[in-house]
Amino acid sequence: MPLSPASTEWQTRVIDSLRSARPTLWAGRSDAEHSSQVIDAAQVQQAVERFERFAPLLARLFPELQVAGGRIESALQPVPQMQRSLQLPEQMGRLWLKADHSLPVAGSIKARGGVHEVLEYAERIALQHGLLADGDYRKLASDAARAVFARYQVAVGSTGNLGLSIGVMASALGFKAVVHMSADAKDWKKQRLRARGVQVVEHAGDYAQAVAAGRALADQDPHCHFVDDEHSLSLLLGYAAAAPYLAAQLARNRLVVDESHPLFVYLPCGVGGAPGGVALGLQQAFGPHAHCFFAEPVQSPCFMVEMLSGAAALPGLGAHPSVYDLGLDNRTEADGLAVPQASQLAADVVRGFLGGVFTVEDETLFRHLALLQGSEGLQIEPSAAAGFGGPHALLDSAAGQDYLKRQKLQAHMANATHIVWTTGGLFVPDEEYARFLARGRDLLR
């Protein structure tokens, strides 16, 4: 008799595998579950409309957005060579890639959530000060508007891409922008921010301490908005706003999503806000026919741990465990994904419909980074490669096969669309990328 994914024996197997840092798939959607009630479609629609209202202003502030009319978006492209390189048979569907590694302004998926949160804050202040009386958002680039924004500060704690996105967007509007970083954050990221007039505060100790220090400073100042990666609804809605545009891209490519044409989406996961937001948007667009799987490093499976928390097989770990509680060290080269504890907001949002979570070894990230460069000529960062392990994690494991069976998908796999979401890479310096690539090629030999 097959084990139910909710059974203690099944959970014990998953947790043993996680503890020993082996690549693991946990598949969700047990029968009792249902769709998300936490956030409704109107809230996502408001984020979509906010991006639309700001598009004329963004086109003015960022010359690279002019061709797209101020829209911050990425391509959806087929990657048949990569599909061959991964030895993914066509009877299992076709492989596509959502190219957020090339997103303008921030160079990563953080351009969605981070920009949205800064725009929402800017809109609130602009309305308070009567700057939008005629509804012309381009006026927010005027000296008068910038003088108002200059009295306010936007702060964030981040070792990397979130800091880049918030810092660049906030300073472009004229806000004072402060990014709290841990001392070990990459130099090029600090330099890039400082070149844009962003204040970079370096903290001894790790990421969690940088965030806590930044939040404490911001809390004392009513003219300061602190972007809270672990709890922010605005970030999550900014990510969710990707879904309607992706739905239009799928339609333009005549890719049907329904009961007999399943959509699988593989998303790199840190705290879970980015993949959680996207998954929410896709659930609202396609209901149960969108199957989202989150990808985490084997040493940082915080989202999977959060999904398993409360499991009978995890006694004594409490309600909101971290990867340290499982004896893992949270050390990975995928710096965007090195997070010990998940966002509870993201977890609550996706718990009812998430397809699953899988873990990937760092070496696999580098191999896939190099395979993508060799097959399709695309440059991504290690974190952004995490999704490429998804199709095989699903197709080659007992847990994955069980999921396909429970969801009645086995007969429809030839019609499946698999989208790997490549989440960052545009601004990685050439020398650094060359090192990533060399490491991946070495592993492929």
Ligand X SMILES: *Cc1c(COP(=O)(O)O)cnc(C)c1O
- Give min distance, CB of 106 to ligand X, in A: 9
The whole-angstrom separation of Cα 118 and Cα 154 is: 8
Q: Are the C-beta atoms of residues 391 and 237 closer than 8 Å to each other?
A: no
Q: Are the C-beta atoms of residues 325 and 305 closer than 8 Å to each other?
A: yes
Query: C-alpha 331: how far from its chain's center?
Result: 19
Q: Binding of ligand X at residue 72 (CB under 6 A)? A: no
Q: Binding of ligand X at residue 383 (CB under 6 A)? A: yes
Tokens, residue 371: 């395979």
- Chain positions 218 to 247 lying near ligand X, rule: CB under 6 A, are none
Nearer to ligand X, 131 or 193 (CB): 193
Q: How many residues bind ligand X (CB under 6 A)?
A: 19
Q: Binding of ligand X at residue 350 (CB under 6 A)? A: no
The whole-angstrom separation of Cα 113 and Cα 105 is: 12
Q: Binding of ligand X at residue 272 (CB under 6 A)? A: yes
H-type alpha helices, 150-221: 161-173, 187-195, 207-219
Task: Tell me if residue 368 falls in helix, strand or coil.
Answer: helix
- Chain positions 73 to 92 lying near ligand X, rule: CB under 6 A, are none
The closest residue (CB) to ligand X is: 270
Nearer to ligand X, 177 or 278 (CB): 278
Q: Binding of ligand X at residue 21 (CB under 6 A)? A: no
Nearer to ligand X, 269 or 304 (CB): 269
The whole-angstrom separation of Cα 329 and Cα 300 is: 7
Q: Binding of ligand X at residue 424 (CB under 6 A)? A: yes
- Give min distance, CB of 66 to ligand X, in A: 25
Selection from 337, 315, 322, 352 nearest residue 423 by Cα: 337
- Chain positions 275 to 314 lying near ligand X, rule: CB under 6 A, are 275
Tokens, residue 153: 């500060």
Query: C-alpha 205: how far from its chain's center?
Result: 25
- Give min distance, CB of 432 to ligand X, in A: 14
Q: Binding of ligand X at residue 400 (CB under 6 A)? A: no
Q: Binding of ligand X at residue 364 (CB under 6 A)? A: no
- Chain positions 315 to 344 lying near ligand X, rule: CB under 6 A, are 336-337
The region of 68-76, 121-129, 273-281, 389-397 touching ligand X under the rule CB under 6 A is: 273-281
Check the CA dihedral 82-103-189-358 and report its sign. negative
- Give min distance, CB of 161 to ligand X, in A: 3
Nearer to ligand X, 148 or 278 (CB): 278
- Give min distance, CB of 273 to ligand X, in A: 3
The region of 107-115, 186-194, 207-215, 304-312 touching ligand X under the rule CB under 6 A is: 107-115
Do the strands 290-297 and 76-78 form a parallel or antiparallel pair, or are they unpaired?
A: unpaired
Residue from 5, 167, 270, 301 binding ligand X (CB under 6 A) = 270
Do the strands 224-227 and 153-157 form a parallel or antiparallel pair, or are they unpaired?
A: parallel
Q: Binding of ligand X at residue 109 (CB under 6 A)? A: yes
The whole-angstrom separation of Cα 153 and Cα 197 is: 13
Tokens, residue 344: 């509870």
The whole-angstrom separation of Cα 79 and Cα 91 is: 16
- Give min distance, CB of 430 to ligand X, in A: 18
Residue from 237, 274, 298, 347 binding ligand X (CB under 6 A) = 274
- Give min distance, CB of 354 to ligand X, in A: 13
The whole-angstrom separation of Cα 131 and Cα 136 is: 9
Selection from 31, 40, 111, 98 nearest residue 280 by Cα: 40
Q: Binding of ligand X at residue 163 (CB under 6 A)? A: no
Task: List contacts with ligand X (CB under 6 A).
Answer: 108-110, 161, 268-275, 336-337, 381, 383-384, 423-424
